[in-house]
Amino acid sequence: MSNEAPGIIYNEMLGNRLQLQQRLLRNGRFYAVSRFIVFIFIVASVIAAIALDTLWWWPASAMLTAFIVLVVLNEKLLDKQRFNDAVITAITQETRALSGQFTSFDGGSEFIDPGHIFTTDLDVFGENSLFQAVNRSATHAGKAMLAHWLKIPLRNKPEILGRQEAVKELAQLPDWRIRLRAHGLVAAEEKTDIESLYEWISSKPMFKPVVFRFAIIVVPLLSMALTTLLISGLISMQLFLLYLIIPLSITGFYTKAINRRHMMLSKKVSILEKYAIRFRMIEEGGFGSQYMAGQVDKLKSGVLPASRGIRKLSRITASLDTRLNLLAGFFLNIYLLWDIRQMIRLENWQISHKDCLPGWFDVLSETEAIAGLGAFAFAFPDYVFPEIVTEGFAIQGADAGHPLIPANQRVNNNILVSHKGHFNIVTGANMAGKSTYLRTVGVNMVLALAGAPVCASGFSCYPAPVFTSLQTTDSLSTNRSYFYAELLRLKELIDHLGRGEELFILLDEILKGTNSADKQAGSKALLTQLIGLVAAGFIATHDLDLGNLEKSFPDDVTNYSFEAEIAGDELHFDYKLKPGIARNMNATFLMKRMGITI
């Protein structure tokens, strides 16, 4: 697939949807005019029936029927318009993403964890983050699932390859992905919606005793019989009203408890319908990857497939919502014990599907997360899916770049960690690209172990997470100095390694909170200890003396650098990684440019 192909496909999809939008608007105007004309005919017929002849009630009734049909058709048209508008929004956002504009998507700021071993340093969450680049979830659970995948890297090669296969498959289904997301956008789910659904599904049934099932059969029969006797004049109104105390008392006694259960599901019919649609899309996806086929099997493993089960729940909920109309609720409870009847239906559903429901929504969450990674893969067809190696602790990347930097601004470099105990010391001037390079390594590792493609022309890695210390901060609230905070971070690293954990380490300017002599001695001691713990990774530093460790550990330390070229009053960076220790520094040059006397 060429780099232009995603844009061509999205533009064609957008064009079709814009044409449909115009047709739907024309239909909407037709229905509006038609309803107005029919309404005029209804008024005229009613006036004629009152003033001229009662026969005019027949056309009035026909026109009223036509008006109701037009209202129903218009409501269906509005649903189509809302969905089509959501599709247009989703396609427009994907088109922007092709050029690296991800701000239309949620950045997942709620998942920021300053204590995590790499997410804060690598800008995994928040505005302009990795999460924002790959997130296409319309549900809160979908976002949480994707966040979990980025925070907790996979370590098992078959799992990574299985997720890669699924991502590749959904990447090639742009129309399917867009429609899945659009249905979610139309639903406009709140976090409390799914929470209250789980709360209801875990509640204890109230109407299991046989007496309730007996009551919903006997009471309607009695109510209809007594109504017939009343109309026939065989019983008095007083006796009929006295009877009404029975159904109203039965329902009224449980009204408070029913209200509490109803609140968990009330007014969720539309959202449940959207869930059902998305479940059906997954069930009918015809997927070839083992991962997605397994998701389909989970949706079909219950008494009913997820789509039919959720649609049935939606219809029962809609029936229970009828009680919100006080007049309708009054008569329905008199004649049918409506509230109890619908609660029994809900509890029967609950008993049948209680064990399946959480799994269904896990499938939807995972599918949304896979679809997000698939959209990312589709948007950047020149990215590659990494090879996962288990025979050696290594990372190797060719022409690797940071995926959040636009392609026309990005400078790519190679990555190589060849074995346990191997460290690359990266020296260089200020702003030369050291920190960006370390973030490039880290972010691509996060993508690789999430099953996503990476920004490189070639990439292979051992499945081990990264540990970073790139932007340590002090804290006034805890009376913690910058240097002490950095020491705590390094102690955390040593503790992880001491427990035998395998980590790729990314450290930027370690011990910068102390004086030069301490920094040099401490940095050398730390690196020596890390090599002894057979850790591996990258250390970026301004301290050129640290590069001399290559002499002490010729097999385990490799020097690289980013150079700055000063030509007259101009400072030039090429951001290309070079072998050896940096030769040029630029601090004094920059200070002079700022007007600071040296």
What would the DSSP string read from start to end of 121-190?
TTT-SSTT-HHHHH---SSHHHHHHHHHHHHS----HHHHHHHHHHHHHHHT-HHHHHHHHHHHHHHT--
Mean pLDDT of 46-61: 88
Q: Which helix (H) or strand (E) holds 550?
A: helix 549-552
This prediction has a pTM of 0.90
Residue 366 CA to residue 375 CA, distance in Å, equals 14
3-state class (DSSP) for residue 416? strand
Please tell me the predicted confidence (pLDDT) of residue 534: 84
Q: Would the pLDDT of 3 be above 60?
A: no
Residue 598 CA to residue 595 CA, distance in Å, equals 9
Q: Mean pLDDT of all residues in the chain?
A: 89
Reported as a pLDDT band with limits 50, 70 and 90, residue 431 is confident
**Largest distance between two CA atoms of the chain:** 113
Mean pLDDT of 241-255: 89
Please tell me the predicted confidence (pLDDT) of residue 592: 55
User: Are 434 and 426 a contacting pair, CB within 8 Å?
Assistant: yes
Closest CA to 496 of 525, 524, 474, 468: 468
Please tell me the predicted confidence (pLDDT) of residue 544: 80
What are 208-239's pLDDT values in tens digits?
889 999 999 999 999 999 999 988 889 888 99
Q: Would the pLDDT of 284 be above 70?
A: yes
Length of the chain: 598
Q: Positive or negative, the Cα torsion across 86, 90, 95, 101? A: positive
Please tell me the predicted confidence (pLDDT) of residue 597: 53
Residue 346 CA to residue 316 CA, distance in Å, equals 7
Q: In DSSP terms, which residues pair with 466 in a beta bridge?
A: 504
User: Are 302 and 295 a contacting pair, CB within 8 Å?
Assistant: no
User: Are 226 and 243 a contacting pair, CB within 8 Å?
Assistant: yes
Q: In DSSP terms, which residues pair with 507 in a beta bridge?
A: 469, 539
Please tell me the predicted confidence (pLDDT) of residue 77: 95
Distances (CA, A) of 392 to 395, 419, 457, 503, 555: 9, 7, 21, 13, 16
What are 541-597's pLDDT values in tens digits?
877 888 888 888 889 999 999 887 766 666 678 899 999 987 765 545 444 554 555
Mean pLDDT of 411-422: 94
Residues 6+ apart with CB under 8 A from 597: none
Mean pLDDT of 102-116: 94
Mean pLDDT of 495-500: 91
Residue 194 CA to residue 265 CA, distance in Å, equals 10
Reported as a pLDDT band with limits 50, 70 and 90, residue 39 is very high
Torsion of CA 186, 191, 193, 197, to 10 degrees: 130
Mean pLDDT of 107-136: 95
Most confident of 184-198, 293-307, 417-431: 293-307
Please tell me the predicted confidence (pLDDT) of residue 470: 86
- In the sheet where 413-417 sits, what is the strand order? 387-388, 458-461, 395-400, 413-417
Closest CA to 141 of 322, 350, 369, 348: 369
- Could you list the beta-strand ranges (E) of 239-295: none
Please tell me the predicted confidence (pLDDT) of residue 525: 85
3-state class (DSSP) for residue 477? coil
Q: Which helix (H) or strand (E) holds 359?
A: helix 357-379
Reported as a pLDDT band with limits 50, 70 and 90, residue 475 is very low
Report H helices in 52-123.
Answer: 57-97
Residue 279 exposed, middle or buried by CB count within 10 Å (0-12, 13-18, 19+)? buried
Q: In DSSP terms, which residues pair with 427 in a beta bridge?
A: 541, 561
Please tell me the predicted confidence (pLDDT) of residue 509: 83
User: Which DSSP state fits 111?
Assistant: G
DSSP 450-467: TT--BSSSEEEE-S--EE
